[in-house]
C-alpha cells in the first residue's frame, strides 16, 4: 500500500507540524526572554519558590524573626504588623482592620514572590516611609526559604 501521493502528503504534513512547533517555541522564547530580563533588577526576580521539607523547615526558623509582629493563619489577629493570610496575589495594605502607613497604602504593590523578595531585602528601600521596623533579610537563599515557607502557610 505504498501510494507515492499519500507518502508525500504525510511527509509534508509532518514537516509542517515540525515547522509550526519550532515557530511556536521560538515565539515563546521571544516573548518570555525579554520579560525575564526586564524584571530582574534585584537579580532575584522571577524567583522559583521551593516546596521541599528541608527548605520549608529552614523558612519556619527564619520566620521566627517575623513572628512577634505577624500571624499567618486565616482570621488570626493582627499584631504589631498585619496578619499575612492570603498574602500572595493580594494588594499591599489590604488587610482590613490594620492601620497601615500612608507609604504602604500608596505603594501600588501587588505581592508576589518577586515583590516580596525585594521588600524583604530592605523594607525601607522598597517602601520608603514604611512603619515596618525591620532591617531586612540579607541573604538571597534565606529570603527564598522564608518566602517558600510564607507561601505554604498563607496561601495553602
Q: Which residues contact ligand HEC by CB under 6 A?
A: 65-66, 68-70, 80-82, 84, 87, 92-93, 95, 100-101, 103-104, 116, 120, 130-134, 137
95 vs 107: CA distance, rounded Å: 14
> Using CA atoms, how far apart are residues 19 and 31, in angstroms rounded to an integer?
18
| Closest distance to ligand HEC from the beta carbon of 25 (Å) | 37
CB of 36 to ligand HEC, least distance (A): 24
**Smallest gap, in angstroms, from Cβ of residue 34 to ligand HEC?**
28
Q: Which is nearer to ligand HEC, 8 or 141 (CB)?
A: 141
Nearer to ligand HEC, 45 or 95 (CB): 95
| Three-state helix/strand/coil letters over 63-110 | CHHHHCCCCCCCCCCCCCCCCCCCCCCCECCCCCCCCCCHHHHHCCCE
Amino acid at each position: 500500500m505504498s501510494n507515492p501521493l499519500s507518502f508525500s502528503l504525510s511527509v509534508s504534513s509532518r514537516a509542517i507540524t515540525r515547522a509550526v512547533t519550532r515557530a511556536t517555541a521560538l515565539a515563546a522564547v521571544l516573548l518570555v526572554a525579554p520579560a525575564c530580563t526586564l524584571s530582574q533588577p534585584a537579580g532575584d526576580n522571577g524567583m522559583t519558590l521551593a516546596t521541599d521539607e528541608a527548605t520549608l523547615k529552614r523558612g519556619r526558623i527564619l520566620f521566627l524573626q517575623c513572628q512577634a509582629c505577624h500571624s499567618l493563619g486565616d482570621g488570626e489577629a493582627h499584631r504589631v504588623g498585619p496578619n499575612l493570610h492570603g498574602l500572595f496575589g493580594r494588594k499591599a495594605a489590604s488587610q482590613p482592620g490594620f492601620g497601615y502607613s500612608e507609604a504602604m497604602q500608596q505603594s501600588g504593590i501587588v505581592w508576589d514572590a518577586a515583590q516580596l523578595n525585594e521588600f524583604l531585602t530592605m523594607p525601607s528601600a522598597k517602601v520608603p516611609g514604611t512603619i515596618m521596623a525591620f532591617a531586612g533579610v540579607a541573604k538571597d537563599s534565606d529570603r527564598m526559604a522564608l518566602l517558600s515557607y510564607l507561601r505554604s502557610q498563607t496561601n495553602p
